[in-house]
């Protein structure tokens, strides 16, 4: 086999260790891609090398690297190689309120935007007319459809549909723990870094507003409180942030709390 064929057949450069995102530090392949390399067709290998790996390299160089403390953040997250399992870290609290049968699977994009004044969290306010959680603040995202390969694909697709976020303007970093909503969705949060040059274009049927909140504010325990609500005659305790003009509560606040706890436990 000549040198040209060898270069096409494998991107390996001899640096064989995985970074916190689950990518090889040398060739940017995932563990699964490396393990399955010999079972791929030459067309599949070429496609991965020509279409997928360059995008990873570009994103790693321009997006994640622009995020202060991104290496610690990567260590705090579950790697992208496999979506986290489990019913949801709050499932037991809602077990007697959920309908029978498994919840619907959903994914959201917890997007971090590096700005000169500090990292911001991108949030949306849903239109009032939506059936589920109308008027509430949340992350872009929604139901995982049969054509979505994984929660990352679903979160990126929904973000494209809701706020016109192009795939090349975002880099997924890792997962948080799944969370079950009272509307019977098992939500897998995907933490990502968003290009600060991106300008959201809200889809008016779904998104009323797009705004940013400083990550430092949301990670400060003093800004998070627990409030009581009545749901079907039962008192429930939910988390809530108060931000000028917005109420950030429920599942969104819980996902941000989960991020904070993971960061607190990561050196």
Which tens digits make up the pLDDT trace of 218-243?
Answer: 999 999 998 877 666 677 778 999 89
Q: Which residues of 125-164 are buried (b: 16+ CB within 10 A; e: fewer)?
A: bbbeeeeebeebbbbbbbebeeebebbbbbbbbbbbebbe
Phi/psi at 144 (5° precision): -80, 120
> Please, what is the average pLDDT of the chain?
86
> Which residues lie across from 238 on neighbouring strands?
227
**Which percentage of the chain shows pLDDT scores above 70?**
87
Q: Which domains, and CATH codes, for the chain?
A: 3-62 (no CATH), 82-264 (3.90.79.10)
Q: Which residues pair with 141 in a beta bridge?
A: 108
The widest CA-to-CA distance across the chain, in whole angstroms, is 73
Q: What is the structure's pLDDT at 2?
A: 42
16-25, 110-119, 131-140, 167-176, range with the lowest pLDDT: 16-25
- Report residue 53's pLDDT band, with 50, 70 and 90 as the boundaries: confident
* H helix runs in the chain, sequence order: 3-9, 31-35, 42-47, 53-62, 70-76, 91-94, 151-163, 215-218, 250-264
Lowest average pLDDT, out of 79-83, 159-163, 174-178, goes to 79-83
Closest CA to 110 of 93, 124, 100: 124
Those residues with Cβ within 8 angstroms of residue 36's Cβ, 6 or more apart along the chain or in another chain: none
Q: Which residue has the tokens 């509430």?
A: 136
> Is pLDDT of 69 > 90?
no
The Cα 209–Cα 202 span in angstroms is 7
């Amino acid at each position: 086999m000549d040198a040209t064929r060898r270069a096409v057949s494998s991107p390996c450069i001899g640096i064989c260790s995985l970074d916190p995102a689950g990518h090889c530090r040398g060739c940017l392949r995932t563990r699964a891609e490396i393990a399955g390399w010999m079972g791929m067709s030459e067309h599949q290998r070429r496609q991965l090398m020509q279409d997928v790996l360059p995008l990873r390299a570009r994103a790693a160089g321009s997006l994640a690297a622009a995020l202060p403390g991104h290496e610690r953040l990567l260590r705090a997250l579950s790697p992208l190689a496999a979506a986290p399992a489990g019913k949801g870290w709050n499932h037991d609290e809602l077990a007697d309120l959920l309908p029978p049968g498994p919840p619907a699977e959903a994914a959201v994009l917890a997007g971090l935007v590096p700005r000169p004044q500090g990292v911001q969290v991108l949030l949306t306010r849903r239109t009032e007319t939506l059936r589920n959680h109308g008027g509430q603040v949340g992350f872009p995202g929604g139901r995982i459809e049969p054509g979505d390969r994984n929660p990352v694909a679903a979160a990126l697709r929904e973000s494209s549909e809701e706020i016109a976020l192009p795939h090349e303007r975002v880099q997924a970093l890792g997962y948080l723990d799944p969370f079950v909503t009272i509307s019977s969705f098992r939500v897998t949060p995907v933490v990502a870094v968003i290009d600060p040059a991106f300008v959201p274009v809200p889809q008016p049927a779904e998104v009323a507003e797009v705004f940013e909140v400083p990550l430092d504010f949301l990670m400060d325990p003093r800004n998070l409180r627990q409030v009581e609500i009545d749901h079907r005659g039962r008192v429930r305790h939910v988390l809530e942030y108060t931000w000028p003009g917005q109420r950030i509560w429920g599942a969104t606040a819980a996902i941000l709390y989960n991020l904070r706890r993971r960061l607190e436990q990561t050196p």
